[in-house]
Structure 1
């Protein structure tokens, strides 16, 4: 057997790592590999950042809807408060401005229409 045949059989019996076969660890390719890793990491960071941004925007929209609902309820409560406060104000003005007063029970006459 020739020397070349022996060398070929020796190489085929030992598997060569893929990264060494690709020449990744060669000094000329090391910078390229580092740049590729940097691009990969930055693209993953962009994906995570956009996902978080959309999540926060969705939460913001939900809070705005809740705020609008609470504003509407607040307006309804203010209307209700002014409606209920109106009776007391009318009674107070009748007593103060017109000198009206509530009659005693003995002075109240109930009229029935039969």
Structure 2
């Protein structure tokens, strides 16, 4: 079970890396990069699976549901921003991409700093 959780964490981090990298590389010419939606969906789905695996494990620590709620909310907002940005590319500005990148960095910070 621990191996599965670790694999999901790696995939989760790769998903967020795709979102962050894709948005930062297009700040000069604002548009949503091709793989950013796939990265956001990968991070969202693997995050949900990580919580499911953690709930099923025999670990004595229960997952912090407040932290999970915050991370899920931010992940849903990032995914929604990416979807809207792809469907309405004229709405994408440098600030729009900076918002996606900032929320992505905030989600990673919550994961690391919230104990």
| TM-score, structure 1 normalization | 0.27
| TM-score, structure 2 normalization | 0.27
Greater relative contact order, per chain length (Cα 8 Å cut-off, separation 6+)? 2
Which is greater in Rg? 1
